[in-house]
Amino acid sequence: MSTKGPSEVPAEAARAEAGDGMTLGAADAPQREAVSGPRINLFGLDRSALRAAFAEMGEAAYRADQVMLWIYRRGVDDFAAMSNIGKALRERLATHFVIRPPQLVTEQVSTDGTRKWVLRLEQAEGKPETAIETVYIPETNRGTLCISSQAGCAMDCSFCSTAQQGFSRNMSTAEIVAQVWFAAKTLGGDFQNERVISNVVFMGMGEPLANYANVLAALRILLDDFGFGLSKRRVTVSTSGLVPYIDRLTADVDSALAISLHAPNDALRDQLVPINRKYPIAELMDACRRYLAGKDRKTHIVFEYVMLAGINDQPEHARELAKLIGSMAAKVNLIPFNPFPQTRYKRSAPEVIERFSDILRAKGVLTTTRRTRGDDIDAACGQLVGKVQSRQKQRLSGIPVKLQ
């Protein structure tokens, strides 16, 4: 997490925040411009895109940087409050742009401090209302925000509540980023020195790499010193295994990577994670090795493994998993299954999970067991949102997955 104070902001950001000592933009004009079409939500523009938009307005690039600092480092969503930007320019910005967070539908707070929000997305004319879930998990030394990248999911993983409800649509960059801003604003702190969100994980609703372009732009805002300024090791993208897009992610942005593995062989993974039929385990593991190549020695991949009683939790599965990982820089995160209505699966018993973990560790595999949080507020992703909206049920088996 970046913890830079006002005097520690990178030089370029400091210059943007200070401006040039003037309060008027280069293209200030007394009259309000006529603008066609809807205003652009600034949560959807990374620094490069925002600078380009300002250039089209005849404004200097540093003005865009100033606006980003106001939004992401000070939590401001009102142009009128941006005091180092001239009034005329602020009025032009309000004509062209909007800073619009999502609308809260429902909030639940667990006895352990976990918070789950159902947030309403932008509604296109004639389209049904769409909502997603965002979850905040507080711990002693960090605060993790689990964000969504799609409304629903088409991957059709049989043990996942969200997948069983089906897929509605991709989220825009603005909708993805706005979750983080909304959570930070709701939880308090000053967005800079005392931030309660130290980690962001793309482990909510949807397959992030199936919405690649929008997720990539969101990642850039999360990591940018003019954006949320998070460390690359504290922003994690989780994927069920879209191999070509793992390679693209490796080339495009330096973030942490998690793989929803859940099985150590193709026969079992084909049943649990259907995308495996297109990108089998051998191809997936090769992509993981390419991701690690050239990274610093602290970089590792997290393999997520949900523990399903009698399905994938036997000693032979643990030994097979350890052999699959081998000497790769990796950690296995064992996840007790979160039951949901109509599921045929059951959670592995604690002693079974412990035995599985012991086998992996004996084979030299770094292993952790995720502590179950928020059981009293429907901890399984997608449960709550399924109660407040209806969705068209589209799944991998029934529709082609269009990768962007």
- Specify the domain boundaries for CATH 1.10.150.530 within the chain: 11-98
User: What totals of helices (H) and strands (E) does the chain contain, helices first?
Assistant: 13, 14
Give me 91's structure tokens. Answer: 């009025």
CA dihedral of residues 210, 218, 214, 333 (deg, nearest 10): 0
Q: What is the pLDDT of residues 169-220, one digit of tens each?
A: 899 999 999 999 999 999 986 677 677 899 999 999 999 999 999 999 999 9
Q: What is the pLDDT of residues 57-102, one digit of tens each?
A: 999 999 999 999 999 999 999 999 999 999 999 999 999 999 999 9
Q: Quick one: 103-388 is in which CATH superfamily?
A: Aldolase class I (3.20.20.70)
Question: What per-residue confidence (pLDDT) applies to 188?
Answer: 87
Helix (H) or strand (E) holding 315: helix 315-325
Residue 11: how many other CB atoms lie within 10 Å? 7
Residue of higher predicted confidence among 186 and 298: 186
- Specify the domain boundaries for CATH 3.20.20.70 within the chain: 103-388
Residue of higher predicted confidence among 390 and 129: 129
State mean pLDDT over 260-286. Answer: 97
Residue 21 has pLDDT above 90, yes or no: no
Question: Under CATH, to which class is 11-98 assigned?
Answer: mainly alpha
Q: Do the beta carbons of residue 135 and residue 107 sit within 8 Å?
A: no
Q: Over pLDDT 90: what percentage of the chain?
A: 68
Q: What pTM, to 2 d.p., does this model score?
A: 0.87
Residue 382 has pLDDT above 60, yes or no: no
Which residues participate in catalysis according to the annotation? Answer: 133, 381
Name 273's Cβ contacts closer than 8 Å, sequence gap at least 6.
155, 157, 240, 241, 260, 261, 262, 263
Confidence of residue 20 (pLDDT cuts 50, 70, 90): very low
Look-up of token digits 């062209």 = 96
- Of 75-89, 115-129, 137-151, 304-318, give the lowest mean pLDDT range: 115-129
Among candidate residues 145, 139, 140, 134, the one with its CA nearest the CA of residue 200: 145
